[in-house]
Structure 1
Amino acid sequence: MAPLNDAEIEHLARRRASARIGWIAHACVFLAVNLLHVAVAVSHGRMPSPVGIGMLAWAFGLALHGVSVFVFGAGSSFTERLVARERARLQAQRDPW
């Protein structure tokens, strides 16, 4: 793989940072909504349900979002290894010798 030039490095760095900021925003909204849920339940004299279906579904979505950002994100080492392996496989199929 050819080394990245300065413009490509800048683009990839901004893309990764933007993806991480998006995940952090998602996590903050998740926490805020669930804290509000607890506050409303307590203010009405009820014990908040520890885990609701909506909270579980949202937590699952947040986890998948995190995996897509931190594990499979653009330029991650895992992604780059898979790309390199596929590139080598395709080049081997193309070259009969």
Structure 2
Amino acid sequence: MNTNANTHTLSPELEALARKRVNARIGFFTHACVYAVVVTGLNLLAFSQGKVWSLWPTAGWGFGLLMHGLGVFGLGPGSALRERLLQRERERLSGH
């Protein structure tokens, strides 16, 4: 007996895409949490010494985190935006 009444049967391709998207999102959120913890520690250490050196790794890593987020939520493989743009291009090319 299925205990989850909301389970939908998907084609293997859609199931693989769903899993890929979920794993990408989990990876991003893990990255963001590690960033927050490490950057907080670096800033506490630097500012307690009256220094501001921690702003450089904070900014650099923050840019990397931003790019990771854009890849996951914006333009990465299987992203919703990419799929919409791809669908529009298919429709344009097919004359619809």
Q: TM-score, normalized by length of structure 1?
A: 0.69
* Counterpart selection for 2:19 from 6, 14, 39: 14
1:31-53 deviation digits (Å, cap 9, x = unpaired): 121111133235xx424538622
| Alpha-carbon distance in 1 for matches of 2:80, 2:54 | 35
Alpha-carbon distance change, 41 to 56 in structure 1, aligned in 2, over 3 angstroms? closer
What's the counterpart of residue 68 of structure 1?
71
- Are 1:85 and 2:74 matched, yes or no? no
| Alpha-carbon distance in 1 for matches of 2:46, 2:87 | 52
1:89 CA drift (Å): 4.9
Root-mean-square deviation (CA, aligned residues, Å) is 2.4
Aligned residue pairs: how many? 86
| Alpha-carbon distance in 2 for matches of 1:77, 1:17 | 13
User: Unaligned regions of 5+ residues in structure 1, if any?
Assistant: 93-97
* Counterpart selection for 1:34 from 39, 56, 62: 39
Matched letter for residue 26 of structure 1: H
1:88 CA drift (Å): 4.1
Higher RCO, Cα 8 Å, sep 6+ = 1
Between structure 1 and structure 2, the one with the greater Rg is 1
1:24-71 deviation digits (Å, cap 9, x = unpaired): 1111121121111133235xx424538622211111110111011011
User: Unaligned regions of 5+ residues in structure 2, if any?
Assistant: 1-9
| Alpha-carbon distance in 1 for matches of 2:13, 2:92 | 26
